[in-house]
Amino acid sequence: MFKHLLLAVDGSALAEAAFHKALVLARDMNARATAVRVCPDYHVLTYQVEMLTDTREEYVNAAWEEATRYLKGIAREAGAAGVPCETTYVVNDHPYEAIIKAAEDKGCDLIVMASHGRRGVQGLLIGSETLKVLTHSKIPVLVYH
């Protein structure tokens, strides 16, 4: 059985649902968890409206504060479910790389994440981070859809 799950979380409803299912799985297997939140770096040219009004420092500080607040809540929920959980926040423009690296660095033996199901033009432009994790990870991946 798996002993250390990496839980990729991004605050979306799908990721939250996957997180809650992963907690049940981890508890049932007596496994521990690491939750990772990946945020993009600041860019002057961007598709994210928040970055257009912020300075680099404002964006970095706001992203760190929001991620820290969010991850504290994730750790509390995991603890309440009886699952030991540490958290990590990573800045990387390629979330799939950060997710895989975090799993490797933390010694995780399973990556758990949601599939956002992006299709069509959005899927082509943004790509599927889940598909990229599945394609590049040597660690098993459990995908909730």
Partnered with residue 122 across adjacent β-strands are: none
User: Which band of pLDDT confidence, cut at 50, 70 and 90, is reported for residue 74?
Assistant: very high
Alpha helix (H) residue ranges in the chain: 13-29, 49-53, 56-80, 95-106, 120-126, 129-136
Full-model pTM: 0.85
Mean pLDDT of 50-73: 83
- The residue segments making up the domain with residue 12 are 4-144
Q: Assess whether pLDDT exceeds 60 at residue 123.
A: no
Please count the structural domains in the chain. Answer: 1
Cα–Cα distance between 88 and 124 in angstroms, integer?
Answer: 29
pLDDT reported for residue 46: 53
Q: What dihedral angle (degrees, nearest 10) is formed by the CA atoms of 28, 30, 34, 37?
A: 10
Which amino acid makes up residue 15? A
C-alpha 141/C-alpha 5 separation (Å) is: 10
pLDDT at 103 over 80: yes
CATH value at residue 41: 3.40.50.620
Q: Residue 126: its pLDDT value, please?
A: 47
